[in-house]
Amino acid sequence: MISVLLLGLLLPGLAQASDSPGQLMDLTQHWVGYAAIAVFVVAYTLVIFEEQLHMRKSKPVLLAAAVIWVMVAIVYRHHGDSHLVESAIRHNFLEFTELFFFLLVAMTYINAMLERGVFEALRAWLVLKGFSYRALFWLTGALSFVISPVADNLTTALIMCAVILVVGEGKPSFVSIACINVVVAANAGGAFSPFGDITTLMVWQKGVIEFFEFFALFVPSLVNFLVPALIMQFALPSGKPPAGDHEDVSMKHGALVIVGLFLLTIVTAVSFHNFLHIPPVFGMMAGLAYLKLYGYSLRRRSLSWHSGSENPPGSHDDPFNFDVFEKIAKAEWDTLFFFYGVILAVGGLGFIGYLSLASGFSYGELGPTTSNILVGFLSAIVDNIPVMFAVLTMNPEMSHNQWLLVTLTAGVGGSMLSIGSAAGVALMGQARGQYTFFGHLKWTPVIALGYGASIWVHLLVNA
C-alpha cells in the first residue's frame, strides 16, 4: 500500500491519461492499469493455491480490491475528479451488499437445518439401507442434483461426500468416482436455479433472467450430469459395502418446521421480486424474521422445559435449545468476504476499462456463442464468480437465449477441473487422498463431453 502511495506522488510525471474532469478515463494503457492487472493476478494465484498455502482465500482479494481502487483514486484525484471514483465504489458496494445479505440468510437457514439434524438424518438413512456401490453412486448423484437447487451446490456436495466416505471406507476407487459424480451433479443442479449457485443468484438479482426462466436450463443441466455419470458407472467396483453398526439418527424438534420456513422464505423472495418488483434480498430478510420468531417460540419452550430442572437453559439435553444468532455466527464468513474482494476488484478493473476492452474483443470479434462457451472453460481454471461478475459488468448486447447459455456454462464449466468450483475444492479437503486433482483430471474428457452435450441440448431446446 505504501508503494502505491509513493507512486501516486510521482503521478504527474507518469500519468498518460488526459481526459477532462467528469469523464471516465481509459487507463488500460496507463501504469495504473498494468499495476492493477498484476495485483489481481497475484491475488488470484494465492486464491488458487489456498489449500497448499493454508491461507484463507478472502485475504489476498480483500487487499487487492483496496490497492486497485486506491491507485485509481490517485489518478482521478490528480485530474481533479474524485466524485466518479466514489460513485463507482458505492455502486459496486451496493452490488455486494445485496448478495451478502441474501447469502447470509440462506447460510443461516442451512446452518439451522444442519444443527437440527436434517442432513444427518438423510445421511444415516442412506447408510442404513445397504445399497450397492452402483446404487449409491446414482443415489448420491441424483440427490446432489435435486438438493443443490435449494441448498446450494457446496453444502449439497459436502453432505453427499460424508455419505460416500462412510459407505466407501476401504474402497478409494469408489470414493474418487462417486465424489467426481457428486461435484458434477451438484454444479449441474445449481445451474438451473437462482439459489443453486452464486453465479445464478447474481444473474437473477441483476434482473437479466427472471426466476422461472432459469428452469429452461433444467434439461441441459440434466444432460450435463447424466452423460459423464453413464460412462463413469462402468468403472465402479462391484458388490455392496459391508454391513456395519451405523446408528440411526433422529431429527431434533422443529427440524421440519425450519425446512418449511426456508421454503416459505424462497417463496417470499420470489414473490417480492415478481409481483412487487422489490429486490429478492428483502424477501430473504423477511424470511430471516420467520426464523427469528420461530427461534423465540423454541426459546420459550426451552425455558418451560427447564423450569424445576437442575439443568440450566441451553444445555445439550434440551430438545428445544435453539439460538438463531449462533447460526448466523457460523456462516461462511471467509466466503462472504471473498465475494466482497472479488466484486470490488473486478469492478475496479472494469472502471479502468479492461472489461469494455474484453467485451469488444470477445463478444464483438468472436461472437456471443463462442464467448459464452469459453466462459465455461475459463471458469474451470478461474472461479466462476469473477468470470460471471465480469460478464454482468460488461453487459454485452446479446439475446435472452445467450444469457441463458452463459448462465449454464458458468455454472457447469467448473466441473471440468476439481479446482473449478467451490464443491470440488471442498471435497478435495474432505476426502483428502482419495478425491484428488489428478483423479478428477483423468475424467475431464468425459465431463467435457457432458459439457458439450448440455450446450448442444440448450441450443436445440431453447432456441
pLDDT in tens, the chain (463 residues): 333 333 333 333 333 444 445 677 888 888 999 999 999 999 988 887 876 788 888 899 999 999 999 999 999 988 877 789 999 899 889 888 988 898 888 888 888 988 888 877 877 777 777 788 899 999 999 999 998 888 778 778 878 887 888 788 788 889 999 999 999 999 999 899 888 888 888 888 888 888 889 999 999 999 999 999 999 999 988 888 776 555 667 888 889 999 999 889 988 988 888 888 888 889 999 999 999 999 998 888 877 766 655 555 555 566 678 888 888 888 778 878 888 888 899 889 888 988 777 777 788 788 899 999 998 998 887 777 778 888 888 888 889 899 999 999 999 998 998 877 878 877 877 787 888 888 899 999 999 999 999 999 999 998 7
CA 229 and chain centroid, separation: 23
Cell numbers representing residue 131 in the block? 445399497
Q: Are 104 and 324 in contact (CB under 8 A)?
A: no
Place of cell 445479505: 101
Radius of gyration of the chain (CA): 24
Query: Looking at beta carbons, which pairs linking 305-309 to residues 24 or more positions away fall under 8 Å?
Result: none
Place of cell 471473498: 338
CA 149 and chain centroid, separation: 12
CB atoms under 10 Å from CB of 283, counted, come to 21
Cell numbers representing residue 83 in the block? 466524485
What is the C-alpha to C-alpha distance for residues 209 and 293, in angstroms, rounded to an integer?
Answer: 32
What's the one-letter identity of residue 352?
I
| Among 417, 346, 433, 402, residue whose Cα is nearest residue 99 | 346
Q: pTM, whole model, 2 decimals?
A: 0.77
CB atoms under 10 Å from CB of 8, counted, come to 18
What's the one-letter identity of residue 94?
L
What is the C-alpha to C-alpha distance for residues 95 and 10, in angstroms, rounded to an integer?
Answer: 33
Place of cell 449441474: 188
